[in-house]
Amino acid sequence: MSVNLLQGAQEAGTMNSIKLLQGFKEASTFEKYALVVVIVVALLGLIYAAFLARQILREPEGNDKMKHIAKAIRTGGNAYLKRQFRTIILLIVVLAVFIFFTGYFGGETTKSEYGNPKWLIGLGRGGGFLMGALFSATVGYIGMNMAMQGNVRVAEASRSSFTKALKIAYRSGTITGMLTDGLGLLGGTIIFLIFFRDAPLVLIGFGFGATLIALFMRVGGGIYTKSADVGADLVGKVEKGIPEDDPRNAAVIADQVGDNVGDCAGMAADIFESYEVTIVAALILGVLLSEATGHLYWIIFPLLVRAAGVLSSIISTYSVRALREGENAMNAIHRGYLLAAAISIISFGLFAHFYCKDLRFFYATSVGVALAIAIQFLTDYYTSTERGPVKETAKSTKTGAATTILSGLGIGYESTVMAILAIAVSIALSAAIWRHGGMGVDTILYTFYGVALCGIGQLTLTGNNIAMDSFGPIVDNANGIGEMCKLEPEARQTLADLDAVGNTTKAVTKGIAIASAVLAAVALFAAFYEDYGLTAINLIKWQVFVCFLIGGAIPFMFSALTIRAVGRGAYFIVNEVRYQFAHVKGVWEGTVDPDYGKVVSICTAAAQKELITPALLAIISPIVIGFLFGLEALAGFLAGVILVGQLLAVFMATAGGAWDNAKKTIEDGLYGGKGSEAHKASVVGDTVGDPLKDTAGPALNPLIKVINLVAVLAASMMVVGVNHVPREKTAGIWALIVVGILAIMVSVWFSKRAESFGREEGEEAEKAKEA
Amino acid sequence: MSVNLLQGAQEAGTMNSIKLLQGFKEASTFEKYALVVVIVVALLGLIYAAFLARQILREPEGNDKMKHIAKAIRTGGNAYLKRQFRTIILLIVVLAVFIFFTGYFGGETTKSEYGNPKWLIGLGRGGGFLMGALFSATVGYIGMNMAMQGNVRVAEASRSSFTKALKIAYRSGTITGMLTDGLGLLGGTIIFLIFFRDAPLVLIGFGFGATLIALFMRVGGGIYTKSADVGADLVGKVEKGIPEDDPRNAAVIADQVGDNVGDCAGMAADIFESYEVTIVAALILGVLLSEATGHLYWIIFPLLVRAAGVLSSIISTYSVRALREGENAMNAIHRGYLLAAAISIISFGLFAHFYCKDLRFFYATSVGVALAIAIQFLTDYYTSTERGPVKETAKSTKTGAATTILSGLGIGYESTVMAILAIAVSIALSAAIWRHGGMGVDTILYTFYGVALCGIGQLTLTGNNIAMDSFGPIVDNANGIGEMCKLEPEARQTLADLDAVGNTTKAVTKGIAIASAVLAAVALFAAFYEDYGLTAINLIKWQVFVCFLIGGAIPFMFSALTIRAVGRGAYFIVNEVRYQFAHVKGVWEGTVDPDYGKVVSICTAAAQKELITPALLAIISPIVIGFLFGLEALAGFLAGVILVGQLLAVFMATAGGAWDNAKKTIEDGLYGGKGSEAHKASVVGDTVGDPLKDTAGPALNPLIKVINLVAVLAASMMVVGVNHVPREKTAGIWALIVVGILAIMVSVWFSKRAESFGREEGEEAEKAKEA
């Protein structure tokens, strides 16, 4: 591990000359124009986002009380993000250096195609990592802030017009969507233009930056939002029997903030990285194919598809509006989605036919669009209040909480089977379309390029998806503001209607994000295989099998950590809210505002503290496995992570959604409505589902990809010799392995030390109060 | 598929002569004696079981009321088993024919070593299948009956002496244990003696027979016991607030019967097949190694280890007794276990040193014993009332049912990670011990032979394990009889103490059974690989990866089906018990006995109906996958099943155990004791855990192996050509695939059609009652 860096750099410098922007020499005239068009479209997407933002900010914010509450939410949200970024900045810098070295020490494996020096590849990769992290954080930050500007304006608009409220809510969400689209396309394309055939070496850093931030935002935001939500509910709804958004509850603002940091910032960063990683995977495989075949379209086609997606999102999102007052908002949103899908599919066909002259490109991307639609259908079936499963869960509340939980477990287990079958069929179709390969190239390369195209196709309509998703927390917050400010009944009804639609759109996007994670991970998995010239990932080797078993355990460990983190966070909040009710005069009577800020800072601190262990697990485990057992075993590990991660993620999302909506149907009056025994059972189901569907489940999504990307990045350091197993483990490598294992163990131990759902502090606090 | 059978048989008959009992020509004098000793020890085990049975049957049965109740339980249990056997007998016969053909059409792959004709191999395999099924059923049937004879005698003995009650309970359980040991060793050894190097071809049928019966007994018994338990609790404890074993509850006898059919018959058949399948796997790999190296000890050593295990179980189980009145029963049982472990390990060392002259045999089997101890430790840590996890779950009841459930989920997820790490380490150690192989043989063969030895070692003390496990339902039933017959307080205390110990022993055995399932499955997986001469199980092939994803989905689907089946069963019982309370005069007042038999027959019918779909899924899915995608993809499928099956099984067992024991600590007076809000929350946790830990979880154990064995059996029919992918799918094969997929779909659809936890029948029945 000890290498004279300077000397290496000098050697590299003397031996190689720097060659950048090689692309334009190789590309045809059409391709040059195409690349320019792609950049222009990406910029158009950003301009459209800015245009929408101006439009939204011009809308009125309502009365002083509304402004006051909105400001409290904004302050909380931004305080959290600031703290979050401060917590991780050091790690990001350390990792950037590490990533520079992964590029630098790539040895055989990170060979530049143009003889660019190693330090340049290292710098590009490290810089790409920082850019990815910055873009992902920006999407999260701006997206969340636009949502927090939008929500109060939606509440105000609801007092005059349903149409207008819908438009503001949807367009506020669209800003995040278009930022994702624009920055995602811009980042990937720029790196590609600069480094051209060397781009995969750099893009992997870019993807990792985006993914890592997404992991932090998802885990931190998820712990924040559900600690606040569960904590607020346990004291408010369960103990005191007051409504959900009652302003006397000190956790109520933290709950609103949580919706933004979890569902807006977390989800936006998450989908941004899915969007990024699918293109990274496609470009890595595309570069290999273009080298082998001499055609550039393997690389350009995915970029064109993305550009078409951005354009269709611009057109279709702007077209979303209610045709008449009181039309179901879902219909308007669906119309926009279908319009976008139609535009995209037609352009896929045109590109494939006229540019690639190979309709397999069209088929593979269309399979992706079909998968997105299938996932929407499945999510809708398992979580819609109109369908069998939720109705069954709702009925099961009549025999109590236990049967409610069991019913949700059954539905969740079944739904994850269906989702993985849909994904398996998509992968099989994509691979089958490309199974004949061609031009003497390894068929594996073709089949997994097909899978990457499927992933690209599936995320074509990201602009629309994120718009739909952000719509959820915006109208949720608007509804909360409406309740706290006691708006007029008609406005409240409008907001409640929009909120119900928001729940559906959120669930749908979650399903699509998870499916895209698997496709991206599978394509990365193949990229890993190709990059390091593995000859097989042979499960019958004991090292591979053992690591495969360990890989499968990771998502369970991760889920255990995040679920318990929410428990611990909620417990702190319960204690604080109880304390304020009991000891701060006037809070319970409603004459004095509770100290919202206190709860906000408890949530913020808890989320920061709790995200360390899961993040360490994700980053360190593939490194330890790779150095201990070699690359082939590491690939087995990745396969285990992908399989179990996907199964758990969909199970959690669906079971949580089913419990949530079962509760909603009962609150709408079924089986005795609010206050009945059935309602109590349904609240138990919903509370169990909360950390599953909003913390553990969605965080598995970036987890899968962080682990994959760490593997791809670190693999270059693990390769010693041709048989892809470190032949001799030096003292340095053993030290790394031991330190890695210790770091995970110590961190898990610390995180376990504090029990989750029942520490003595609670009892002491209670006793103190009683005394 | 159309072959002239008669002609084939004639050809085979003329070309080959029948050669059986070849073993004695090849074996050394020592080995001949060793084989005779093994047979004698197996018979000794059976004689010991008969001796214990006579001893138990001589004990007094107590007063008339006790006899009456015991008889009702016996009648219910036997009625269930009779119905169960009747349901599956047709399937068994059809499968025996199918299995004959798998042997017959083996083609290249089921080549006899001695030139035995194909029809003889087919007959041996089909016959082995029937023998395996018969043995497994016998162990279940006799084991359950001895438990049902023992329970009432334990109750009677508790009135005079704790020591005596413990002895009767433990020895009743030991009968099942020794039956398993004796029949398991006898069956495997006899087949080996007759067919010698051809034995693997036949043993696979024997293992499948045992496993299939175990699957039926586990699924059927699990659905029965938890439908009765959940149904009885929902009306009794939850609705009416009467104690658990109140004789007015019409489901109370069905609940007792359920303990026997689920925990005795189901568990006995299940461990019998684990015991069998590990030896089958070891012998298959051992035969290959002995062919390659010329030594027979690869085959004889595992048989000797088993014989040593049987002997040490005989000695140690007979030594189990309380040293003084009132000693903790767990101590006595542990002393016996340690004694057995010591005898076994010493004999492993002696055999390895003096016979094999290779200490690796000793190390590998000792790793197995260490794994058994590690699993015991882990199970104890996560489910004992004295340790952190259960205490945490108990505390979490104070904030309600939702936090209770979340706490259990977190603990379950964490425990499954630890268990799979323990298994991964064992596999790695076993493989590392054999990593240098030797004598020019494929190292893979050695490493997985090491894994098989580890499995053999882990199940050495099966006699003791089953004795401990059966002890659980015996004292549980004795306690129930004590409550129903209102025995003296001292007797009740004795029985309650024994019952608490029984809960721990049950949990421990469950953990060991699941770990053994994985080791057996991994060894079978390797046997599959070796048998069909696969060159790799390469995950990067899309077919392998897609089937791997589908394989991971199977345990989730299976769990969803079984959990919902319990829901449906419980619902029928709730309605019946409610009806009897409301409409049969004197039942609620306690003056008239409720119609226990009615509930027993509802449970029996429900269990039969519900086990069809999960069983079809297990049998058909590997066949469809294999024919569609070929053998390598089928191996990927198996890997997915093993990984996810193991993770879910331990999660369910531990989470269920933690909830159960959290409830127990609260019933012992913690946090307000019985009737408090904390207690209500803990009952919800326990009820959720019931179908997980006693139905879905344990049934995953035989599921994993049924799927593996079907794959091994059917593979010989899938091999067409050397590349192990059916080159042309004939109309017949397509028909098979389509029929298979349709059968699963139709069956799942039918099973889903009836919702699980909330059908209208319930409402109608309620309305009818109200009217």
Position A346 scores a pLDDT of: 92
Partner-chain residue, chosen from B423, B424, B758, that has the shortest CB–CB distance to A396: B758
On whether the CB atoms of residues A516 and A605 are closer than 8 A, the answer is: no
Position A132 scores a pLDDT of: 92
Position A751 scores a pLDDT of: 72
Residue with tokens 């009991």: A582
Q: What is the Cα–Cα distance from B70 to B147, expressed in whole angstroms?
A: 11
On whether the CB atoms of residues A653 and A697 are closer than 8 A, the answer is: yes
Which residues 13-52 of B have a C-beta within 8 angstroms of A? none
Partner-chain residue, chosen from B545, B574, B635, that has the shortest CB–CB distance to A427: B545
Better-predicted residue by pLDDT, B372 or B243: B372
Question: Is B636 within 8 Å of chain A by CB?
Answer: yes
Least confident of A141-145, A479-483, B111-115, B239-243: B111-115
Of residues A110, A92, A7, A121, the one with CA closest to residue A718: A110
Better-predicted residue by pLDDT, A271 or A117: A271
- Segment A646-655 shows an average pLDDT of 92
Q: What is the Cα–Cα distance from A461 to A456, expressed in whole angstroms?
A: 10
The DSSP annotation for B501-559 comes to HHHHHHHHHHHHHHHHHHHHHHHHHHHHHHHTT-S--BTTSHHHHHHHHHHHHHHHHHH
Q: Give the number of beta-carbon pairs within 8 Å between A and B.
A: 286
Q: What DSSP character marks residue A287?
A: H
Question: Is B406 within 8 Å of chain A by CB?
Answer: yes
Question: Is A567 within 8 Å of chain B by CB?
Answer: yes
Question: Is A398 within 8 Å of chain B by CB?
Answer: yes
The answer to whether residue A257 scores a pLDDT higher than 80 is: yes
Looking at chain B, how many residues does it have?
771
Q: What is the Cα–Cα distance from A504 to A334, expressed in whole angstroms?
A: 12
- To the nearest whole angstrom, how far is the Cα of B701 from the nearest Cα of chain A? 16
On whether the CB atoms of residues A726 and A720 are closer than 8 A, the answer is: yes
Partner-chain residue, chosen from B421, B522, B553, that has the shortest CB–CB distance to A545: B522
Q: What is the Cα–Cα distance from A699 to A215, expressed in whole angstroms?
A: 6
The model's pLDDT over A692-737, given as tens digits with 9 standing for 90+, comes to 988 898 889 889 988 988 888 877 667 643 344 444 567 777 777 8
Angle between helices B731-753 and B542-583 (to 10 degrees): 30
Residue with tokens 């309740």: A483
- To the nearest whole angstrom, how far is the Cα of B407 from the nearest Cα of chain A? 6
The answer to whether residue A147 scores a pLDDT higher than 70 is: yes
Q: What is the pTM of this model?
A: 0.90
Position B726 scores a pLDDT of: 47
Tell me which amino acid residue B470 is: S
Partner-chain residue, chosen from B392, B427, B537, that has the shortest CB–CB distance to A755: B392
Partner-chain residue, chosen from B411, B538, B755, that has the shortest CB–CB distance to A538: B538
Those residues whose C-beta lies under 8 Å from the C-beta of residue B662, and which sit 6 or more positions away, are B385, B390, B393, B394, B397, B404, B408, B682, B685, B686
Q: What is the Cα–Cα distance from B563 to A130, expressed in whole angstroms?
A: 47
Position A234 scores a pLDDT of: 80
A543 phi-psi bin (left φ>0, alpha ψ -120 to 50, beta other) = alpha
Question: Is A741 within 8 Å of chain B by CB?
Answer: no
Position A110 scores a pLDDT of: 56
Q: Do B542 and A423 touch (CB under 8 A)?
A: no
Question: How far, rounded to the nearest angstrom, does the alpha carbon of residue A356 sit from its chain's CA centroid?
Answer: 32
Q: How confident is the model at residue B755 (pLDDT cuts 50, 70, 90)?
A: low
Helices (H) then strands (E): counts for chain B? 25, 0
Position A440 scores a pLDDT of: 63
Please list every residue in chain B whose beta carbon sits closer than 8 Å to the beta carbon of residue A654.
none
Partner-chain residue, chosen from B428, B543, B757, that has the shortest CB–CB distance to A542: B428
Least confident of A444-453, A468-477, B314-323: B314-323
The answer to whether residue A163 scores a pLDDT higher than 80 is: yes
- Range list of β-strands (E), A455-534: none
**Which of A399, A430, A572 should we substitute to test contact with B (largest number of B Cβ atoms within 10 Å)?**
A399
The model's pLDDT over A538-550, given as tens digits with 9 standing for 90+, comes to 888 888 999 999 9
Those residues whose C-beta lies under 8 Å from the C-beta of residue A334, and which sit 6 or more positions away, are none
Rg, Å, chain A Cα set:
26
Tell me which amino acid residue A744 is: I
Q: What is the Cα–Cα distance from A395 to A390, expressed in whole angstroms?
A: 9
The model's pLDDT over A236-248, given as tens digits with 9 standing for 90+, comes to 877 777 777 777 8
Question: Is A745 within 8 Å of chain B by CB?
Answer: no
Question: Is B417 within 8 Å of chain A by CB?
Answer: yes
Q: What is the Cα–Cα distance from B246 to A350, expressed in whole angstroms?
A: 75
The model's pLDDT over B521-567, given as tens digits with 9 standing for 90+, comes to 888 888 777 777 777 788 888 889 999 999 999 999 999 999 988 88
Position B636 scores a pLDDT of: 92
The model's pLDDT over B598-630, given as tens digits with 9 standing for 90+, comes to 888 888 888 888 888 888 888 889 988 988 888
Please list every residue in chain A whose beta carbon sits closer than 8 Å to the beta carbon of residue B395.
755, 757-759
Q: How confident is the model at residue B6 (pLDDT cuts 50, 70, 90)?
A: very low
Which residues 349-388 of B have a C-beta within 8 angstroms of A? 388
- Segment A145-171 shows an average pLDDT of 90
The answer to whether residue A359 scores a pLDDT higher than 90 is: no
Distances (CA, A) of B540 to A535, A538, A643, A703, B725: 9, 9, 14, 21, 16
Question: Is B645 within 8 Å of chain A by CB?
Answer: no
On whether the CB atoms of residues A92 and A205 are closer than 8 A, the answer is: no
Q: Do A392 and B757 touch (CB under 8 A)?
A: yes
Position B135 scores a pLDDT of: 92
Most confident of A100-114, B200-214, B395-409, B632-646: B632-646
Angle between helices A542-583 and B443-458 (to 10 degrees): 50
Partner-chain residue, chosen from A526, A539, A756, that has the shortest CB–CB distance to B639: A539
Q: What is the Cα–Cα distance from B492 to B489, expressed in whole angstroms?
A: 5
Position B363 scores a pLDDT of: 92
Q: Do B392 and A529 touch (CB under 8 A)?
A: no
Q: How confident is the model at residue B17 (pLDDT cuts 50, 70, 90)?
A: low
Question: In sequence order, which ranges of B532-630 are alpha helices (DSSP H)?
Answer: 542-583, 596-610, 612-629
- Segment A458-474 shows an average pLDDT of 87
On whether the CB atoms of residues A559 and A648 are closer than 8 A, the answer is: yes
Instruction: Output A610-613 pairs: Cβ under 8 A, ≥24 positions apart.
Output: A610/A219, A610/A220, A610/A223, A610/A562, A610/A565, A610/A568, A610/A569, A610/A751, A611/A87, A611/A216, A611/A219, A611/A220, A611/A223, A611/A565, A612/A747, A612/A751, A613/A561, A613/A747, A613/A748, A613/A750, A613/A751
The answer to whether residue B7 scores a pLDDT higher than 60 is: no
Those residues whose C-beta lies under 8 Å from the C-beta of residue A559, and which sit 6 or more positions away, are A648, A652, A696, A700, B413
User: Could you report the predicted ipTM of this complex, rounded to two decimals?
Assistant: 0.89
Least confident of A424-438, B109-123, B449-463: B109-123
Q: What is the Cα–Cα distance from B53 to B57, expressed in whole angstroms?
A: 6
Q: Do B548 and A407 touch (CB under 8 A)?
A: no
Please list every residue in chain B whose beta carbon sits closer than 8 Å to the beta carbon of residue A529.
540
**Which of B396, B534, B542, B562 should we substitute to test contact with A (largest number of A Cβ atoms within 10 Å)?**
B542
Position B182 scores a pLDDT of: 92
Least confident of A434-448, A591-605, B627-641: A434-448
Least confident of A569-573, B2-6, B433-437, B764-768: B2-6
Q: How confident is the model at residue A551 (pLDDT cuts 50, 70, 90)?
A: very high
The model's pLDDT over A92-130, given as tens digits with 9 standing for 90+, comes to 998 898 888 877 766 555 566 666 777 788 888 899 999
Angle between helices A401-433 and A443-458 (to 10 degrees): 130
Please list every residue in chain A whose beta carbon sits closer than 8 Å to the beta carbon of residue B406.
563, 566-567, 687-688, 691, 756-757
Question: Is B290 within 8 Å of chain A by CB?
Answer: no
Of residues A356, A520, A341, A299, the one with CA closest to residue A427: A520
- Segment B470-490 shows an average pLDDT of 86
Question: Is A754 within 8 Å of chain B by CB?
Answer: no
Q: What is the Cα–Cα distance from B562 to B750, expressed in whole angstroms?
A: 14
Least confident of A353-362, A678-687, B95-104, B234-243: B234-243
Q: Looking only at Cα atoms, what is the longest distance across chain B?
A: 82
Position B43 scores a pLDDT of: 95
Question: Is A553 within 8 Å of chain B by CB?
Answer: yes
Position A16 scores a pLDDT of: 54
Report residue A438: phi and psi, to 5°. 140, 165
The answer to whether residue B8 scores a pLDDT higher than 70 is: no
Q: What is the Cα–Cα distance from A599 to A608, expressed in whole angstroms?
A: 14
On whether the CB atoms of residues A645 and A415 are closer than 8 A, the answer is: no
The model's pLDDT over B46-81, given as tens digits with 9 standing for 90+, comes to 999 999 999 999 998 888 888 888 888 888 888 888
Report residue B538: phi and psi, to 5°. -95, 105
- To the nearest whole angstrom, how far is the Cα of A124 from the nearest Cα of chain B? 29
Of residues B345, B349, B322, the one with CA closest to residue B333: B322
> For residue A445, what is the enclosing H or E element?
helix A443-458
Those residues whose C-beta lies under 8 Å from the C-beta of residue A702, and which sit 6 or more positions away, are A211, A212, A214, A215, A218, A270, A273, A517
The answer to whether residue A19 scores a pLDDT higher than 80 is: no
Q: How confident is the model at residue B198 (pLDDT cuts 50, 70, 90)?
A: confident
The answer to whether residue A439 scores a pLDDT higher than 60 is: yes
Those residues whose C-beta lies under 8 Å from the C-beta of residue A589, and which sit 6 or more positions away, are none
Residue with tokens 């003096």: B354
Q: What is the Cα–Cα distance from A307 to A137, expressed in whole angstroms?
A: 22
Distances (CA, A) of B228 to A102, A401, B261, B697: 60, 18, 11, 17
